[in-house]
Structure 1
Amino acid sequence: MIQYSDEAKHSFIQYLQTEKNYSSLTVEHYIHDLDHFFEFLSREGVKHINETDDLLARGYLVSLHEHSYSRASVSRKISSLKTFFTYLNRENPEFVNPMSYIIHPKKEGRLPHFFYENEMEQLFLACSGEDPLSKRNKALLELLYASGIRVAECTGIQMKDLDLTIGTVLIKGKGSKERYVPFGHFAGDALNDYIKHARGNMMKKEEHSYLFVNHRGAPLTSRGVRHILSKLIEKTSLNHSIHPHMLRHTFATHMLNSGADLRTVQELLGHAHLSSTQLYTHVTKEHLKNTYQSFHPRA
Protein backbone atom coordinates (compact mmCIF):
# COMPACT_ATOMS: atom_id res chain seq x y z
CA MET A 1 0.00 0.00 0.00
CA ILE A 2 1.23 3.50 -0.81
CA GLN A 3 2.23 5.33 2.34
CA TYR A 4 2.53 8.89 3.43
CA SER A 5 5.11 9.33 6.18
CA ASP A 6 4.13 9.08 9.82
CA GLU A 7 5.47 12.61 10.22
CA ALA A 8 3.18 13.93 7.46
CA LYS A 9 0.24 12.05 8.90
CA HIS A 10 0.94 13.38 12.39
CA SER A 11 1.30 16.97 11.14
CA PHE A 12 -1.98 16.67 9.22
CA ILE A 13 -3.74 15.39 12.35
CA GLN A 14 -2.29 18.32 14.30
CA TYR A 15 -3.58 20.67 11.60
CA LEU A 16 -7.10 19.21 11.85
CA GLN A 17 -7.11 19.41 15.65
CA THR A 18 -5.55 22.83 16.18
CA GLU A 19 -6.24 24.94 13.10
CA LYS A 20 -9.49 23.34 11.90
CA ASN A 21 -10.60 22.65 15.48
CA TYR A 22 -12.16 19.30 14.50
CA SER A 23 -13.31 16.77 17.09
CA SER A 24 -11.41 13.51 17.63
CA LEU A 25 -14.21 11.59 15.89
CA THR A 26 -14.04 13.84 12.81
CA VAL A 27 -10.25 13.48 12.70
CA GLU A 28 -10.66 9.70 12.89
CA HIS A 29 -13.06 9.79 9.92
CA TYR A 30 -10.66 11.96 7.89
CA ILE A 31 -7.74 9.59 8.45
CA HIS A 32 -9.93 6.58 7.62
CA ASP A 33 -10.99 8.26 4.35
CA LEU A 34 -7.38 9.08 3.57
CA ASP A 35 -6.25 5.48 4.15
CA HIS A 36 -9.08 4.27 1.90
CA PHE A 37 -7.92 6.58 -0.91
CA PHE A 38 -4.32 5.39 -0.58
CA GLU A 39 -5.48 1.78 -0.83
CA PHE A 40 -7.07 2.73 -4.16
CA LEU A 41 -3.84 4.40 -5.34
CA SER A 42 -1.87 1.27 -4.44
CA ARG A 43 -4.22 -0.87 -6.53
CA GLU A 44 -3.64 1.55 -9.41
CA GLY A 45 0.13 1.12 -9.08
CA VAL A 46 0.80 4.63 -7.79
CA LYS A 47 3.96 4.72 -5.67
CA HIS A 48 4.14 8.38 -4.64
CA ILE A 49 1.57 10.99 -3.68
CA ASN A 50 3.00 13.43 -6.27
CA GLU A 51 1.81 11.07 -9.02
CA THR A 52 -1.82 11.70 -8.11
CA ASP A 53 -3.65 13.72 -10.76
CA ASP A 54 -7.25 14.69 -11.53
CA LEU A 55 -7.69 11.57 -13.68
CA LEU A 56 -6.89 9.34 -10.70
CA ALA A 57 -9.15 11.45 -8.51
CA ARG A 58 -12.06 10.92 -10.91
CA GLY A 59 -11.22 7.22 -11.13
CA TYR A 60 -11.51 7.02 -7.36
CA LEU A 61 -14.98 8.56 -7.49
CA VAL A 62 -16.01 6.01 -10.13
CA SER A 63 -14.81 3.20 -7.85
CA LEU A 64 -16.89 4.59 -4.97
CA HIS A 65 -20.01 4.59 -7.12
CA GLU A 66 -19.24 1.08 -8.36
CA HIS A 67 -19.12 -0.09 -4.75
CA SER A 68 -22.49 1.60 -4.07
CA TYR A 69 -21.32 4.16 -1.54
CA SER A 70 -24.08 6.59 -0.58
CA ARG A 71 -23.90 10.20 -1.75
CA ALA A 72 -23.29 11.29 1.84
CA SER A 73 -20.31 8.94 2.18
CA VAL A 74 -18.88 10.05 -1.18
CA SER A 75 -19.29 13.70 -0.22
CA ARG A 76 -17.54 13.14 3.09
CA LYS A 77 -14.61 11.38 1.42
CA ILE A 78 -14.30 14.24 -1.07
CA SER A 79 -14.22 16.72 1.84
CA SER A 80 -11.54 14.71 3.62
CA LEU A 81 -9.34 14.50 0.52
CA LYS A 82 -9.84 18.15 -0.44
CA THR A 83 -8.76 19.17 3.06
CA PHE A 84 -5.72 16.90 2.91
CA PHE A 85 -4.55 18.05 -0.51
CA THR A 86 -5.18 21.70 0.34
CA TYR A 87 -2.98 21.17 3.38
CA LEU A 88 -0.25 19.59 1.23
CA ASN A 89 -0.48 22.48 -1.24
CA ARG A 90 -0.08 24.96 1.59
CA GLU A 91 3.02 23.17 2.83
CA ASN A 92 4.39 22.79 -0.73
CA PRO A 93 2.99 25.36 -3.22
CA GLU A 94 4.42 23.39 -6.15
CA PHE A 95 2.11 20.49 -5.37
CA VAL A 96 -0.97 20.42 -7.64
CA ASN A 97 -4.24 19.64 -5.87
CA PRO A 98 -5.92 16.79 -7.85
CA MET A 99 -9.24 17.32 -6.03
CA SER A 100 -9.63 21.01 -6.91
CA TYR A 101 -12.12 20.36 -9.74
CA ILE A 102 -14.06 17.56 -8.03
CA ILE A 103 -17.66 18.54 -7.28
CA HIS A 104 -19.65 17.17 -4.36
CA PRO A 105 -22.62 14.99 -5.40
CA LYS A 106 -26.07 16.43 -4.80
CA LYS A 107 -27.56 15.34 -1.51
CA GLU A 108 -30.13 12.57 -1.58
CA GLY A 109 -33.66 13.77 -1.04
CA ARG A 110 -34.41 11.32 1.75
CA LEU A 111 -36.29 12.70 4.71
CA PRO A 112 -34.97 11.87 8.19
CA HIS A 113 -36.76 9.08 10.03
CA PHE A 114 -38.36 9.96 13.35
CA PHE A 115 -40.62 8.43 16.00
CA TYR A 116 -44.23 9.44 16.54
CA GLU A 117 -45.25 10.36 20.07
CA ASN A 118 -46.97 7.03 20.72
CA GLU A 119 -43.82 5.23 19.55
CA MET A 120 -41.71 7.25 21.98
CA GLU A 121 -44.07 6.17 24.78
CA GLN A 122 -43.36 2.54 23.89
CA LEU A 123 -39.62 3.21 24.15
CA PHE A 124 -40.01 4.85 27.55
CA LEU A 125 -42.06 1.88 28.79
CA ALA A 126 -39.34 -0.47 27.54
CA CYS A 127 -36.79 1.06 29.90
CA SER A 128 -38.99 1.19 33.00
CA GLY A 129 -37.59 -0.69 35.99
CA GLU A 130 -35.89 -0.20 39.35
CA ASP A 131 -32.55 -1.83 38.54
CA PRO A 132 -29.52 0.43 37.86
CA LEU A 133 -29.35 -0.35 34.12
CA SER A 134 -33.04 0.52 33.62
CA LYS A 135 -32.56 3.80 35.47
CA ARG A 136 -29.50 4.56 33.32
CA ASN A 137 -31.35 3.69 30.11
CA LYS A 138 -34.35 5.84 31.04
CA ALA A 139 -32.15 8.83 31.88
CA LEU A 140 -30.26 8.38 28.62
CA LEU A 141 -33.42 8.12 26.50
CA GLU A 142 -35.12 11.03 28.27
CA LEU A 143 -32.11 13.32 27.80
CA LEU A 144 -31.58 12.43 24.12
CA TYR A 145 -35.24 13.07 23.35
CA ALA A 146 -35.51 16.18 25.56
CA SER A 147 -32.44 17.92 24.18
CA GLY A 148 -31.86 16.68 20.62
CA ILE A 149 -28.13 16.42 21.29
CA ARG A 150 -25.85 14.20 19.21
CA VAL A 151 -24.85 10.85 20.69
CA ALA A 152 -21.16 11.82 20.76
CA GLU A 153 -22.16 14.99 22.64
CA CYS A 154 -24.19 12.93 25.09
CA THR A 155 -21.42 10.47 25.90
CA GLY A 156 -19.04 13.38 26.42
CA ILE A 157 -21.12 15.00 29.18
CA GLN A 158 -19.29 15.38 32.50
CA MET A 159 -21.06 15.56 35.86
CA LYS A 160 -20.05 19.23 36.20
CA ASP A 161 -21.77 20.05 32.90
CA LEU A 162 -25.18 19.14 34.30
CA ASP A 163 -27.34 21.60 36.26
CA LEU A 164 -30.41 19.80 37.56
CA THR A 165 -31.60 22.89 39.44
CA ILE A 166 -32.36 24.93 36.33
CA GLY A 167 -32.53 22.01 33.89
CA THR A 168 -29.63 22.74 31.53
CA VAL A 169 -26.58 20.89 30.29
CA LEU A 170 -23.40 22.31 28.79
CA ILE A 171 -22.75 20.60 25.46
CA LYS A 172 -19.43 20.54 23.65
CA GLY A 173 -20.43 20.22 20.01
CA LYS A 174 -18.70 19.98 16.66
CA GLY A 175 -15.56 22.07 16.38
CA SER A 176 -15.44 22.30 20.19
CA LYS A 177 -18.28 24.84 20.09
CA GLU A 178 -20.12 25.00 23.40
CA ARG A 179 -23.81 25.62 23.96
CA TYR A 180 -26.23 25.33 26.86
CA VAL A 181 -29.22 23.10 26.14
CA PRO A 182 -32.33 22.97 28.34
CA PHE A 183 -34.28 19.85 29.26
CA GLY A 184 -37.67 19.32 30.88
CA HIS A 185 -38.72 17.84 34.19
CA PHE A 186 -39.19 14.31 32.79
CA ALA A 187 -35.51 14.20 31.84
CA GLY A 188 -34.56 16.02 35.04
CA ASP A 189 -36.37 13.49 37.23
CA ALA A 190 -34.87 10.54 35.34
CA LEU A 191 -31.36 11.99 35.57
CA ASN A 192 -31.72 12.73 39.27
CA ASP A 193 -32.96 9.18 39.92
CA TYR A 194 -30.10 7.68 37.90
CA ILE A 195 -27.42 9.78 39.61
CA LYS A 196 -28.74 9.15 43.12
CA HIS A 197 -29.70 5.48 42.88
CA ALA A 198 -27.78 3.90 39.99
CA ARG A 199 -24.60 5.61 38.81
CA GLY A 200 -22.68 5.12 42.06
CA ASN A 201 -23.47 1.39 42.14
CA MET A 202 -22.46 1.01 38.49
CA MET A 203 -19.15 2.87 38.90
CA LYS A 204 -17.63 0.08 41.04
CA LYS A 205 -13.87 0.80 41.17
CA GLU A 206 -13.87 3.21 38.25
CA GLU A 207 -12.97 6.85 38.88
CA HIS A 208 -14.06 9.41 36.27
CA SER A 209 -16.58 12.21 35.94
CA TYR A 210 -18.54 11.12 32.85
CA LEU A 211 -22.29 11.22 33.39
CA PHE A 212 -23.26 8.00 31.61
CA VAL A 213 -21.46 4.73 32.36
CA ASN A 214 -21.69 1.17 31.08
CA HIS A 215 -22.33 -1.94 33.18
CA ARG A 216 -18.64 -2.09 34.12
CA GLY A 217 -18.59 1.52 35.29
CA ALA A 218 -16.49 2.82 32.38
CA PRO A 219 -17.68 5.83 30.32
CA LEU A 220 -20.48 4.90 27.93
CA THR A 221 -19.46 5.02 24.25
CA SER A 222 -21.46 5.88 21.13
CA ARG A 223 -21.43 2.19 20.21
CA GLY A 224 -22.79 1.41 23.67
CA VAL A 225 -25.66 3.85 23.14
CA ARG A 226 -26.55 2.17 19.83
CA HIS A 227 -26.58 -1.21 21.58
CA ILE A 228 -28.84 0.07 24.38
CA LEU A 229 -31.34 1.59 21.94
CA SER A 230 -31.38 -1.57 19.81
CA LYS A 231 -32.20 -3.64 22.90
CA LEU A 232 -34.98 -1.21 23.85
CA ILE A 233 -36.58 -1.41 20.41
CA GLU A 234 -36.63 -5.22 20.72
CA LYS A 235 -38.83 -4.87 23.80
CA THR A 236 -41.47 -2.88 21.91
CA SER A 237 -43.94 -3.72 19.14
CA LEU A 238 -42.15 -1.31 16.79
CA ASN A 239 -41.07 -3.12 13.65
CA HIS A 240 -38.30 -0.83 12.41
CA SER A 241 -34.67 -0.50 13.40
CA ILE A 242 -33.36 2.40 15.43
CA HIS A 243 -30.25 4.48 15.23
CA PRO A 244 -29.36 7.14 17.82
CA HIS A 245 -29.74 10.04 15.38
CA MET A 246 -33.45 9.18 15.07
CA LEU A 247 -33.97 10.68 18.53
CA ARG A 248 -32.35 13.91 17.35
CA HIS A 249 -34.63 13.86 14.29
CA THR A 250 -37.60 13.16 16.56
CA PHE A 251 -36.74 16.06 18.87
CA ALA A 252 -36.53 18.53 15.97
CA THR A 253 -39.68 17.25 14.25
CA HIS A 254 -41.79 17.31 17.42
CA MET A 255 -40.55 20.80 18.30
CA LEU A 256 -41.49 22.18 14.89
CA ASN A 257 -44.81 20.32 14.84
CA SER A 258 -45.64 21.95 18.18
CA GLY A 259 -44.94 25.45 16.83
CA ALA A 260 -41.30 26.14 17.70
CA ASP A 261 -39.57 28.58 15.35
CA LEU A 262 -36.79 27.39 13.08
CA ARG A 263 -34.07 29.63 14.56
CA THR A 264 -34.66 28.29 18.07
CA VAL A 265 -34.48 24.68 16.88
CA GLN A 266 -31.31 25.52 14.94
CA GLU A 267 -29.68 26.88 18.11
CA LEU A 268 -30.79 23.92 20.22
CA LEU A 269 -29.45 21.43 17.68
CA GLY A 270 -26.18 23.30 17.33
CA HIS A 271 -26.48 23.60 13.55
CA ALA A 272 -24.02 26.06 12.04
CA HIS A 273 -26.31 26.70 9.07
CA LEU A 274 -30.07 27.17 8.98
CA SER A 275 -30.25 25.00 5.84
CA SER A 276 -29.41 21.96 8.00
CA THR A 277 -32.42 22.67 10.20
CA GLN A 278 -34.75 23.45 7.30
CA LEU A 279 -34.68 19.77 6.35
CA TYR A 280 -37.08 19.15 9.22
CA THR A 281 -39.67 21.55 7.81
CA HIS A 282 -40.09 19.07 4.94
CA VAL A 283 -40.74 16.35 7.49
CA THR A 284 -43.40 18.40 9.27
CA LYS A 285 -45.06 19.29 5.97
CA GLU A 286 -45.13 15.60 5.07
CA HIS A 287 -46.65 14.86 8.47
CA LEU A 288 -49.34 17.50 7.97
CA LYS A 289 -50.09 16.18 4.50
CA ASN A 290 -50.47 12.59 5.75
CA THR A 291 -52.67 13.72 8.63
CA TYR A 292 -54.87 15.73 6.26
CA GLN A 293 -55.26 12.82 3.85
CA SER A 294 -56.05 10.44 6.69
CA PHE A 295 -58.75 12.51 8.38
CA HIS A 296 -60.30 14.96 5.94
CA PRO A 297 -63.48 13.46 4.43
CA ARG A 298 -62.76 14.89 0.96
CA ALA A 299 -58.96 14.56 0.91
Structure 2
Amino acid sequence: MSRWLDHLRAVDGVAENTLTAYQRDLAGFLAFLTGHFGESLGQRPLERLTISDMRAWMAHERGRGVAARSLARELSAVKNFAGWMAERDGFDATAILAARAPKYRRKLPRPLAEDAAKAVLETVELQSEEPWIAARDVAVVTLLYGCGLRISEALGLEADCLPLGESLRIRGKGGKERIVPVLPAAREAVSRYVALSPWPAEAGTPLFRGKRGGRLNARLVTRVMERSRMQLGLPASATPHALRHSFATHLLAAGGDLRAIQELLGHASLSTTQAYTAVDAERLMEVYEMAHPRMG
Protein backbone atom coordinates (compact mmCIF):
# COMPACT_ATOMS: atom_id res chain seq x y z
CA MET A 1 0.00 0.00 0.00
CA SER A 2 2.80 2.43 0.87
CA ARG A 3 4.48 1.83 -2.52
CA TRP A 4 1.17 2.52 -4.27
CA LEU A 5 0.70 5.74 -2.31
CA ASP A 6 4.28 6.78 -3.11
CA HIS A 7 3.52 6.19 -6.80
CA LEU A 8 0.38 8.36 -6.64
CA ARG A 9 2.30 11.10 -4.86
CA ALA A 10 5.36 11.11 -7.11
CA VAL A 11 4.00 10.21 -10.54
CA ASP A 12 0.38 11.41 -10.48
CA GLY A 13 0.87 14.38 -8.13
CA VAL A 14 -2.13 13.40 -5.97
CA ALA A 15 -2.80 15.80 -3.08
CA GLU A 16 -1.99 14.68 0.50
CA ASN A 17 -5.64 14.93 1.62
CA THR A 18 -6.68 12.63 -1.23
CA LEU A 19 -3.87 10.18 -0.39
CA THR A 20 -5.04 10.05 3.22
CA ALA A 21 -8.61 9.30 2.09
CA TYR A 22 -7.38 6.64 -0.37
CA GLN A 23 -5.30 4.95 2.33
CA ARG A 24 -8.28 4.87 4.70
CA ASP A 25 -10.61 3.54 1.98
CA LEU A 26 -8.24 0.78 0.90
CA ALA A 27 -7.48 -0.26 4.49
CA GLY A 28 -11.23 -0.62 5.11
CA PHE A 29 -11.62 -2.75 1.98
CA LEU A 30 -8.72 -5.05 2.94
CA ALA A 31 -10.05 -5.37 6.51
CA PHE A 32 -13.43 -6.48 5.13
CA LEU A 33 -11.79 -9.07 2.89
CA THR A 34 -9.79 -10.48 5.82
CA GLY A 35 -13.04 -11.21 7.65
CA HIS A 36 -14.81 -12.25 4.46
CA PHE A 37 -12.21 -14.90 3.58
CA GLY A 38 -11.27 -15.74 7.17
CA GLU A 39 -7.54 -15.42 6.48
CA SER A 40 -4.85 -12.76 6.41
CA LEU A 41 -4.49 -11.16 3.03
CA GLY A 42 -1.74 -11.55 0.49
CA GLN A 43 -1.96 -11.26 -3.28
CA ARG A 44 -3.53 -14.70 -3.75
CA PRO A 45 -6.88 -13.94 -2.03
CA LEU A 46 -7.08 -10.72 -4.05
CA GLU A 47 -6.55 -12.67 -7.29
CA ARG A 48 -9.50 -14.94 -6.60
CA LEU A 49 -11.93 -12.09 -5.93
CA THR A 50 -15.20 -12.35 -7.86
CA ILE A 51 -17.91 -9.87 -8.70
CA SER A 52 -19.95 -11.47 -5.89
CA ASP A 53 -17.20 -10.67 -3.39
CA MET A 54 -17.15 -7.05 -4.56
CA ARG A 55 -20.93 -6.84 -4.21
CA ALA A 56 -20.68 -8.32 -0.71
CA TRP A 57 -18.21 -5.58 0.26
CA MET A 58 -20.40 -2.82 -1.19
CA ALA A 59 -23.48 -4.25 0.57
CA HIS A 60 -21.50 -4.31 3.82
CA GLU A 61 -20.52 -0.65 3.37
CA ARG A 62 -24.08 0.44 2.63
CA GLY A 63 -25.24 -1.60 5.63
CA ARG A 64 -23.02 0.42 7.95
CA GLY A 65 -24.42 3.67 6.61
CA VAL A 66 -21.88 4.69 3.95
CA ALA A 67 -23.58 6.99 1.44
CA ALA A 68 -23.56 6.15 -2.27
CA ARG A 69 -21.22 9.06 -3.06
CA SER A 70 -18.71 7.99 -0.40
CA LEU A 71 -18.89 4.37 -1.54
CA ALA A 72 -18.17 5.46 -5.12
CA ARG A 73 -15.03 7.22 -3.84
CA GLU A 74 -13.99 4.09 -1.88
CA LEU A 75 -14.45 1.95 -4.99
CA SER A 76 -12.37 4.43 -6.98
CA ALA A 77 -9.49 4.00 -4.51
CA VAL A 78 -9.77 0.20 -4.63
CA LYS A 79 -9.82 0.18 -8.44
CA ASN A 80 -6.80 2.48 -8.59
CA PHE A 81 -4.85 0.16 -6.30
CA ALA A 82 -5.91 -2.93 -8.27
CA GLY A 83 -4.95 -1.29 -11.56
CA TRP A 84 -1.53 -0.39 -10.15
CA MET A 85 -1.00 -3.98 -8.98
CA ALA A 86 -2.10 -5.30 -12.36
CA GLU A 87 0.55 -3.22 -14.15
CA ARG A 88 3.25 -3.99 -11.62
CA ASP A 89 2.73 -7.72 -10.90
CA GLY A 90 0.60 -9.01 -13.78
CA PHE A 91 -2.25 -9.25 -11.27
CA ASP A 92 -5.65 -10.08 -12.81
CA ALA A 93 -7.86 -7.24 -11.60
CA THR A 94 -10.86 -7.98 -13.84
CA ALA A 95 -13.40 -8.59 -11.05
CA ILE A 96 -12.41 -5.44 -9.15
CA LEU A 97 -12.29 -3.19 -12.22
CA ALA A 98 -15.64 -4.53 -13.46
CA ALA A 99 -17.47 -3.56 -10.25
CA ARG A 100 -19.98 -0.78 -10.87
CA ALA A 101 -20.12 2.23 -8.62
CA PRO A 102 -23.50 2.96 -7.02
CA LYS A 103 -25.51 5.68 -8.72
CA TYR A 104 -25.89 8.91 -6.86
CA ARG A 105 -27.14 12.36 -7.67
CA ARG A 106 -24.31 14.84 -7.80
CA LYS A 107 -24.85 17.93 -5.67
CA LEU A 108 -25.13 20.96 -7.88
CA PRO A 109 -22.93 23.98 -7.11
CA ARG A 110 -24.77 26.75 -5.26
CA PRO A 111 -23.68 30.01 -6.89
CA LEU A 112 -24.87 33.49 -5.96
CA ALA A 113 -26.89 35.65 -8.32
CA GLU A 114 -24.77 38.33 -10.01
CA ASP A 115 -26.26 41.19 -7.99
CA ALA A 116 -25.80 39.20 -4.76
CA ALA A 117 -22.13 38.52 -5.58
CA LYS A 118 -21.54 42.24 -6.15
CA ALA A 119 -23.37 43.08 -2.91
CA VAL A 120 -21.14 40.65 -1.01
CA LEU A 121 -17.99 42.36 -2.34
CA GLU A 122 -19.34 45.70 -1.15
CA THR A 123 -20.54 44.43 2.25
CA VAL A 124 -17.33 42.57 3.14
CA GLU A 125 -15.51 45.92 3.39
CA LEU A 126 -17.85 47.01 6.20
CA GLN A 127 -16.99 44.12 8.51
CA SER A 128 -13.81 45.59 10.00
CA GLU A 129 -12.98 49.00 11.44
CA GLU A 130 -9.29 48.46 10.62
CA PRO A 131 -8.83 49.89 7.09
CA TRP A 132 -6.04 47.44 6.13
CA ILE A 133 -8.05 44.40 7.33
CA ALA A 134 -11.15 45.58 5.46
CA ALA A 135 -9.02 46.06 2.32
CA ARG A 136 -7.46 42.62 2.82
CA ASP A 137 -10.85 40.88 3.05
CA VAL A 138 -12.10 42.70 -0.06
CA ALA A 139 -8.95 41.66 -1.95
CA VAL A 140 -9.41 37.99 -0.98
CA VAL A 141 -13.08 37.73 -1.95
CA THR A 142 -12.43 39.67 -5.17
CA LEU A 143 -9.85 37.05 -6.17
CA LEU A 144 -12.30 34.24 -5.34
CA TYR A 145 -15.04 35.72 -7.49
CA GLY A 146 -12.95 37.51 -10.12
CA CYS A 147 -10.44 34.68 -10.76
CA GLY A 148 -12.38 31.60 -9.62
CA LEU A 149 -9.75 30.68 -7.02
CA ARG A 150 -10.21 28.17 -4.23
CA ILE A 151 -9.80 29.78 -0.79
CA SER A 152 -6.66 27.67 -0.21
CA GLU A 153 -5.20 28.95 -3.50
CA ALA A 154 -5.84 32.61 -2.66
CA LEU A 155 -4.45 32.31 0.86
CA GLY A 156 -1.47 30.32 -0.41
CA LEU A 157 -0.26 33.21 -2.58
CA GLU A 158 3.13 34.69 -1.75
CA ALA A 159 4.14 38.34 -2.02
CA ASP A 160 6.41 37.28 -4.90
CA CYS A 161 3.40 37.57 -7.24
CA LEU A 162 3.36 41.36 -6.75
CA PRO A 163 2.70 43.58 -8.51
CA LEU A 164 -0.17 41.64 -10.05
CA GLY A 165 -0.11 41.64 -13.82
CA GLU A 166 -2.78 40.60 -16.28
CA SER A 167 -2.40 36.94 -15.32
CA LEU A 168 -1.51 34.89 -12.26
CA ARG A 169 0.14 31.46 -11.96
CA ILE A 170 -1.82 29.32 -9.50
CA ARG A 171 -0.70 26.04 -7.94
CA GLY A 172 -3.90 24.04 -7.39
CA LYS A 173 -4.87 20.56 -6.22
CA GLY A 174 -2.16 17.94 -6.58
CA GLY A 175 0.40 20.65 -7.34
CA LYS A 176 -1.10 21.27 -10.80
CA GLU A 177 -0.39 24.74 -12.16
CA ARG A 178 -2.67 26.93 -14.25
CA ILE A 179 -2.70 30.50 -15.50
CA VAL A 180 -5.71 32.68 -14.68
CA PRO A 181 -6.40 36.18 -16.02
CA VAL A 182 -6.59 38.94 -13.41
CA LEU A 183 -9.28 41.58 -13.87
CA PRO A 184 -8.46 45.25 -13.20
CA ALA A 185 -10.84 45.23 -10.20
CA ALA A 186 -8.84 42.39 -8.61
CA ARG A 187 -5.51 44.14 -9.28
CA GLU A 188 -6.84 47.34 -7.73
CA ALA A 189 -8.21 45.52 -4.66
CA VAL A 190 -4.89 43.76 -4.02
CA SER A 191 -2.87 46.95 -4.61
CA ARG A 192 -5.04 48.86 -2.13
CA TYR A 193 -4.58 46.15 0.49
CA VAL A 194 -0.79 46.05 -0.02
CA ALA A 195 -0.58 49.85 0.29
CA LEU A 196 -2.50 49.82 3.61
CA SER A 197 -0.97 46.68 5.13
CA PRO A 198 1.43 47.25 8.06
CA TRP A 199 3.38 44.17 6.96
CA PRO A 200 6.02 44.59 4.22
CA ALA A 201 5.30 42.58 1.06
CA GLU A 202 8.68 40.87 0.89
CA ALA A 203 9.57 37.90 -1.32
CA GLY A 204 8.90 34.58 0.38
CA THR A 205 6.26 36.00 2.74
CA PRO A 206 2.48 35.40 2.60
CA LEU A 207 0.52 37.89 0.53
CA PHE A 208 -2.48 37.79 2.86
CA ARG A 209 -1.72 38.10 6.56
CA GLY A 210 -3.57 37.90 9.83
CA LYS A 211 -3.42 40.56 12.56
CA ARG A 212 -0.15 39.21 13.95
CA GLY A 213 1.54 38.89 10.58
CA GLY A 214 1.13 35.14 10.00
CA ARG A 215 -0.61 33.66 6.97
CA LEU A 216 -4.32 34.52 6.96
CA ASN A 217 -6.52 31.66 8.22
CA ALA A 218 -9.40 30.55 6.00
CA ARG A 219 -11.76 30.51 9.01
CA LEU A 220 -11.49 34.30 9.23
CA VAL A 221 -12.61 34.69 5.62
CA THR A 222 -15.51 32.31 6.30
CA ARG A 223 -16.59 34.42 9.29
CA VAL A 224 -16.48 37.62 7.23
CA MET A 225 -18.68 35.93 4.61
CA GLU A 226 -21.08 34.76 7.34
CA ARG A 227 -21.53 38.28 8.70
CA SER A 228 -21.92 39.71 5.20
CA ARG A 229 -24.54 37.19 4.08
CA MET A 230 -26.54 37.70 7.31
CA GLN A 231 -26.64 41.46 6.67
CA LEU A 232 -27.74 40.85 3.09
CA GLY A 233 -30.25 38.11 3.96
CA LEU A 234 -28.48 35.53 1.80
CA PRO A 235 -28.72 31.76 2.42
CA ALA A 236 -26.14 29.69 4.33
CA SER A 237 -24.85 28.42 0.97
CA ALA A 238 -23.25 31.86 0.39
CA THR A 239 -19.76 30.73 1.44
CA PRO A 240 -16.30 31.70 0.14
CA HIS A 241 -16.42 28.63 -2.13
CA ALA A 242 -19.76 29.81 -3.53
CA LEU A 243 -17.90 32.79 -5.02
CA ARG A 244 -15.82 30.34 -7.09
CA HIS A 245 -19.07 28.64 -8.18
CA SER A 246 -20.46 32.07 -9.06
CA PHE A 247 -17.39 32.88 -11.18
CA ALA A 248 -17.97 29.74 -13.29
CA THR A 249 -21.75 30.06 -13.54
CA HIS A 250 -21.70 33.73 -14.52
CA LEU A 251 -19.00 33.10 -17.14
CA LEU A 252 -21.07 30.27 -18.60
CA ALA A 253 -24.22 32.42 -18.65
CA ALA A 254 -22.28 35.12 -20.52
CA GLY A 255 -21.36 32.62 -23.24
CA GLY A 256 -18.08 31.29 -21.87
CA ASP A 257 -16.64 28.10 -23.38
CA LEU A 258 -16.91 25.09 -21.06
CA ARG A 259 -13.38 23.89 -21.88
CA ALA A 260 -11.93 27.32 -21.13
CA ILE A 261 -13.84 27.47 -17.83
CA GLN A 262 -12.49 24.01 -16.96
CA GLU A 263 -8.94 25.31 -17.43
CA LEU A 264 -9.62 28.47 -15.44
CA LEU A 265 -11.02 26.46 -12.53
CA GLY A 266 -8.26 23.86 -12.69
CA HIS A 267 -10.66 20.91 -12.92
CA ALA A 268 -8.94 17.66 -13.94
CA SER A 269 -12.13 16.38 -15.58
CA LEU A 270 -14.60 18.19 -17.81
CA SER A 271 -17.44 16.27 -16.11
CA THR A 272 -16.77 18.30 -12.93
CA THR A 273 -17.15 21.56 -14.84
CA GLN A 274 -20.29 20.30 -16.61
CA ALA A 275 -22.18 20.55 -13.31
CA TYR A 276 -22.42 24.29 -14.05
CA THR A 277 -24.44 23.61 -17.20
CA ALA A 278 -27.03 21.91 -14.99
CA VAL A 279 -27.13 24.97 -12.74
CA ASP A 280 -27.60 27.19 -15.79
CA ALA A 281 -30.43 24.99 -17.11
CA GLU A 282 -32.09 24.90 -13.69
CA ARG A 283 -32.06 28.69 -13.47
CA LEU A 284 -33.40 28.97 -17.02
CA MET A 285 -36.36 26.74 -16.09
CA GLU A 286 -37.07 28.86 -13.00
CA VAL A 287 -37.22 31.98 -15.18
CA TYR A 288 -39.44 30.12 -17.67
CA GLU A 289 -41.83 29.00 -14.92
CA MET A 290 -42.14 32.55 -13.59
CA ALA A 291 -42.42 34.34 -16.93
CA HIS A 292 -44.36 31.98 -19.20
CA PRO A 293 -48.04 32.97 -19.54
CA ARG A 294 -50.18 30.24 -18.04
CA MET A 295 -53.11 28.91 -20.06
CA GLY A 296 -56.29 29.57 -18.07
TM-score bracket, normalised by the shorter chain, equals: 0.7 to 0.9
Structure 1 residues 259 and 95: alpha-carbon distance in aligned structure 2, compared to 1, 3 A threshold: closer
What CA distance in whole angstroms lies between the structure 2 residues aligned with 1:219 and 1:152? Answer: 11
* Counterpart residue type for residue 284 of structure 1: D
Structure 2: tracts of 5 or more residues without a match:
none
How much is the aligned-residue C-alpha RMSD, in angstroms? 3.3
> CA shift at 1:97, angstroms?
6.9
**1: CA distance, partners of 2:254 / 2:75:** 38
Q: TM-score, normalised by structure 2?
A: 0.79
Amino acid at match of 2:244: R
1:287 to 279, 283, 287: 283
Match of 1:117 among 114, 118, 124: 114
TM-score (norm 1): 0.79
Contact 2:85 2:91 in 1 (8 A): no
| Other-structure match for 2:155 | 155
Residue 183 of structure 2 corresponds to: 184
Residue 144 of structure 2: aligned partner: 144
**1:73-222 alignment to 2 at 5 Å?**
73-94=70-91, 99-129=96-126, 130-131=129-130, 132-161=132-161, 163-164=163-164, 166-198=165-197, 200=199, 208-220=204-216
Equivalents in 1 of 2:228, 2:156: separation in Å? Answer: 22
Shift of 1:244: 4.0
Alignment-mate amino acid for residue 151 of structure 2: V
What are the superposed Cα offsets for residues 70-104 of structure 1, whole Å, 9 maximum, x if unpaired? 44322222111212233334443357576222222
- Deviation string 1:190-239 (CA, Å, 9 cap, x unpaired) is 211222323718x9xx9953333344433345566555544543444123
With over 3 angstroms needed to count, the CA separation of the structure-2 counterparts of 1:273 and 1:13, relative to structure 1, is: closer
Q: Distance in 1 between matches of 2:81 and 2:14?
A: 13
Q: Which has the higher contact order (CA 8 A, sep 6+)?
A: 2
Counterpart-to-counterpart distance in 2, 1:234 and 1:63: 42
> How many residue pairs were aligned?
287
Which string of whole-angstrom CA distances, capped at 9 and with x for unpartnered residues, describes residues 153-184 of structure 1? 333323324552x3321112344332210122
Q: Deviation string for 1:88-132 (max 9, x for gaps)? A: 344433575762222223351543211112322342243214524
Q: 1:109/1:30 Cα in 2 relative to 1: closer, same or farther (>3 Å)?
A: closer
Check 1:133–1:62 CA distance in 2 against 1; reply closer, same or farther (3 A cut). Answer: farther
Deviations 1:232-273 (A, max 9, x none): 434441233344432222111111212223333222222344
Among all aligned residue pairs of Structure 1 and Structure 2, give the percentage whose two residues are the same amino acid.
31
**1:49–1:186 Cα change, 3 Å:** farther
CA distance in 1, matches of 2:99, 2:217: 35
